[in-house]
Amino acid sequence: MKKFGTVIAAISTLIFLNSCNTKMTDVNPLLVASENPFEAPAFDKIKNEHYKPAFEVAINEGRAQIDSIVSNHEEPSFENTIVAMEYAGRRLNGIASIFFNLNEAATDSVMQALALEISPLLTEYSNDIMLNDALFNRVKIVYDKRAELNLNLEDSRLLEETYKGFTRNGANLSSEAKERFRQINTELSQLSLQFGQNVLAATNKFFIQITDSSQLAGLPQFVIEAGAAEAAERSLEGWVYTLQAPSYGPFLQYSENRDLKEKLWRAANTKAYKDEFDNSDIVRKIVSLRIERANLLGFETHADYVLDVNMAKSSSTVNSFLNNLLDKTLPFAKKEVDDIQKYANSLGFQGLLMPWDFSYYSEKYKNEKYAISDELLKPYFKLENVQQAIFALADSLYGLKFKENLNIPVYHPDVKAYEVHDADGRFLSLLYMDFFPRASKRGGAWMTTFRDMYFENGVEKRPFVSLVCNFTKPTKETPSLLTHYEFNTLLHEFGHALHGIFAEGQYPSLTGTNVARDFVELPSQIMENWAVKKEFLSSFAKHYQTGESIPAELIDKIVAAKNYLSGYSNVRQLTFGINDMAWHSLKSVPEGDIESIEKRATKRTQLLTDIEGTCFSPSFSHIFAGGYSAGYYSYKWAEVLEADAFSLFEERGIFSKEVAHSFRENILSKGNIENPDILYRKFRGRDPQPDALLKKFGMTGRSQ
């Protein structure tokens, strides 16, 4: 508390100086033009004390820009109202992109406190724009005469999206309802931030320390080395294993110590639940407020509100999609679990497999059935080699060139910055790559931008794309060696990065990944297909010690095992999507704890023994701290799209420049200029075929 108070005092002093000294902006790196190559953010100069004053200056500037639009005495036009609004607050957007992205990837207690303080200011700013009657009246005048304006496709889309943005954010509400809408948005922004902070704190707090080497039985050397490195980093003896994916996953896969695995699994599945970081009440409050907000806007549920602007359009469509996919995949999943159970019993295991047993026996079964394992594969997937291979794939498909630039500041020593150029030498983007877990970074993997692509006063502003992961860290003895799953994850996130890199268009709100939630995963998930393609794997996978290429028979095993536990994996993903829809299809929050609500919703997807007292909703950051509420289904929705889309690559060749060019022109570069179903048909020549996903996973004609 002392440190927090000191920082707030320092910020107050800065704010006072800013009001007295017009040159204060000269020394705040967030408020002056960047002198770095390509106007890259000055991460080497930005400090926590710069954020609050910068936000206040930028908010005031944004308000003045909006006021000038409202007070314009000229007849409302597309240029003086819609375009002017699009560019109002650009400085604020840039500052917010830096702050909130770093709060996810390189945070600290001061930054988290600032986030809780700054978020209401931004919510108020947004509300003041969207609930401004005079501003909306100008927008409506332009919208109502849209047929007379002869706008091009992109301009028409901006007008349509701007008008829709106002109506979806309360512009048509009564004065009393608008005030309540403001309150709900403010509270939701705070609750979502607190949810994420609690998950990070709960993740960081738990670990198991091993000091007796006999408790390492079954662990491969790479897992032992990682545990030793984690212990050394914490100044502890022995070996430490955490809830971070590169530590948690391998320990459950390989450890023979059932008690420790149970302890680790229970910690992961009670994260931020009934502990000092309990998110239970926050979940209930978020869901309740989302219902109320949807009702204010004329929707029965939050899901109806969200889906109204997605490809799926309605809750009934999504629920039908999820249930249909569950019907088709559940029999395969049950058989797979039964096979693992029988295999475990054949090795002497007694009773039913518990959730903390499944990874161990499924890994052993995979190794026996396919003679393949992470331990066998990891030496061929050195991170640096994988990264260069993915760069080479992007070059082969799209002609992209990547060049590390050491003169571009980064926000953490782990981060590297690259220039991305097109085949003709044109600069396309900066790409920041941040690979390893740390206490200041949330779990998972994601792509984001520090700046979207747009034109301003005729000058093109290319995007700054960031790719963030949590991969196995290098140790003193071994470089970072990826599991095949991590390799697949990097391909996925790189697909998102390409969506940002290739962005073209006039307006920032329509470019890059600013698309419907159930369309945004298509570019990422299609890239995963190359993870099991012989031609690609053989082009780069070499043993990090001997330099020998991966044996052809090992590649054959990767391909043969690509659908191992595909039924189980599909049902697991459907569990998350069904739980998300259950929460956000509620018309009121029922009595009872959140565990009982969750388990009622996901009972049909339960494949292993249910463990009382566990619950994943309190740590389900995608839907309670991120942007996937009533949208987690989109992973499966987009998987159907990508399975169908990739079939064109398979028809024409997986390195087909012709297909890649079409995918870039019709999908990757177009952003939200047109409806996604239209863009997809332009690429594929038809609507997607729903059975493409089942065919991809070998579930058509396969015995159950």
Would you name the residues annotated as active-site residues? 493
The closest of 386, 668, 649, 432 to 531, measured between CA atoms, is 386
Residue type, 336: E
The closest of 433, 381, 389, 395 to 412, measured between CA atoms, is 433
The closest of 153, 87, 151, 98 to 455, measured between CA atoms, is 87
Q: How far apart are CA 125 and CA 93, in angstroms?
A: 12
Bridge partner residues of 210 (DSSP): 239
Q: How far apart are CA 368 and CA 440, in angstroms?
A: 39
Q: Where are the alpha helices (DSSP H) in 71-108?
A: 84-87, 90-105
Half-sphere exposure of 253 (CA within 13 A, CB side): 18
Q: How far apart are CA 699 and CA 231, in angstroms?
A: 44
Bridge partner residues of 418 (DSSP): 404, 431
Q: How far apart are CA 489 and CA 385, in angstroms?
A: 15
The closest of 364, 365, 368, 337 to 353, measured between CA atoms, is 337
Q: How far apart are CA 523 and CA 671, in angstroms?
A: 11
CA distances from 212 to 155, 237, 265, 266, 476 (A): 67, 10, 20, 22, 22
CA distances from 27 to 6, 118, 498 (A): 21, 21, 35
Q: Three-state SS for 206? A: coil
CA distances from 76 to 81, 153, 679 (A): 6, 20, 31
Residue type, 642: E
Quote the DSSP letter at residue 415: -
Residue type, 523: P
By the 8 A CB rule, do 287 and 281 touch?
no
Q: Three-state SS for 507? A: coil
**What are the contacts of 334-342 at 24+ separation with CB within 8 A?**
334/567, 334/607, 335/567, 335/704, 336/565, 336/567, 336/568, 337/568, 337/607, 337/608, 339/365, 340/365
Bridge partner residues of 690 (DSSP): none
CA distances from 92 to 87, 436, 510, 530, 578 (A): 10, 29, 18, 39, 36
Q: How far apart are CA 118 and CA 107, in angstroms?
A: 15
Q: How far apart are CA 523 and CA 211, in angstroms?
A: 45
Q: Three-state SS for 432? A: strand
Assigned token pair, 162: 């701007």
Find the Cα–Cα–Cα–Cα dihedral 522, 527, 531, 533, rounded to 10°: 100
Strands of 127-262 (E only): list them: 207-210, 239-242
Q: How far apart are CA 185 and CA 176, in angstroms?
A: 15
Between strands 427-434 and 464-468, the pairing is parallel
Q: How far apart are CA 177 and CA 107, in angstroms?
A: 36
Assigned token pair, 480: 């970072």
Angle, helix 133-144 to helix 48-70, in steps of 10 degrees: 60
